[in-house]
Amino acid sequence: MEGQQGKDRNLTYYAVERQSRILDYINESKRVSVNDLAEYFHVSPSTIRNDLAVLKKDGQIRRTHGGAMALSISKVGLEESMDDRLTNNMAEKEKIAKLASDQIDDGDTIALLAGTTIFSLAKYLVDKKNLTIVLNDLQIAWWLNEHTTHRLFIVGGFVRNKFHCMNFDASAVDFINIDKAFFSCTAFSVEKGAMVPDLNLATTERCILNRAATVILLCDSSKFGEVSFIKVVGVNDIDMVITDSNLPKFHRDTMEAIEQLDFIVAP
């Protein structure tokens, strides 16, 4: 796809051909603006708007304010079951987790927040020494307690039904200091930040992230361009993003252009 898109930039198409390639571009990038498409295909914004009107009429895209989005994007409030999350994109999540483990030094105080990618990261901590780990996920805490000797600090509170994680009083972490916090999300975009479907989860995780010197997001490529109910933190609150090599070029270029962000792609 990437090679074909490189050729697309230098070609002139009939309307039907251009619309087909615009549809491919939207399906890969998930969410794009009229200006992005106009620049990419070297046509005017009005031409792109006409193309998008045709694609919308044919039921192939969703129009948004100033752009379009793929039909495959999940509904804002939709959340996968835990069983689905444990099986989806596991190869990519493993690669991300392995790379993230390189960011952890012996003696660190870290936070591992709820998520299947974070659970994969926890399993790479067996050979680390003398870690203090702040947790809000019972499953991750149980696994670390059974397989390591690290010091575990579980933030107490109500268990979120069927998702293992805790909703807690924010004051419980007011006096904690963390070297590095690792978290994941349900959806991510540069404009909207890292998002999850649950208000309490977003609020409590934000409290922990605010106590960390370095905030690291582990986000597989399927989450880019998606939208979920509520923002956990914005891009400016994140120091590093680790993702996988399936990330479309559009999103990769956007992330690499953010100067204050360390952006790492797992091979």
**Span 82-266: which CATH code?**
3.40.50.1360
Q: For residue 112, give the nearest of 91, 90, 128, 92 by alpha carbon.
A: 128
Q: For residue 31, give the nearest of 4, 3, 66, 80 by alpha carbon.
A: 66
Q: Give the integer Cα–Cα distance in Å for 67 and 249.
A: 18
pLDDT, residue 77, reads 54
pLDDT, residue 32, reads 87
This prediction's pTM: 0.77
pLDDT, residue 12, reads 54
**pLDDT values of the chain reduced to their tens digit, one per residue, 267 residues:** 444 444 444 445 678 899 999 988 888 877 888 998 998 888 999 999 999 999 998 888 889 889 998 887 665 555 554 455 555 678 999 999 999 999 999 999 999 999 999 999 999 999 999 999 999 999 999 999 999 999 999 987 676 666 567 666 677 788 999 999 999 999 999 989 999 999 988 999 999 999 999 999 999 999 998 889 999 999 999 999 999 999 988 889 999 999 999 999 998
Q: Give the integer Cα–Cα distance in Å for 116 and 181.
A: 15
User: In the chain, what are the domain boundaries?
Assistant: 2-70, 82-266
Contact call for residues 242 and 266 (beta carbons, < 8 A): yes
Residues contacting residue 149 through CB under 8 Å, at least 6 positions apart: none
Q: Tell me which amino acid residue 260 is.
A: Q
Q: Give the integer Cα–Cα distance in Å for 245 and 237.
A: 23
pLDDT, residue 226, reads 87
Cα 58 from chain centroid? 30
**Span 2-70: which CATH code?**
1.10.10.10
CA 119, 251, 9: angle at the middle one, nearest 5? 155
- The encoded tokens of residue 250 equal 């559009």
CA 211, 215, 216: angle at the middle one, nearest 5? 150
- The encoded tokens of residue 141 equal 């805490």
- The encoded tokens of residue 50 equal 């006409």
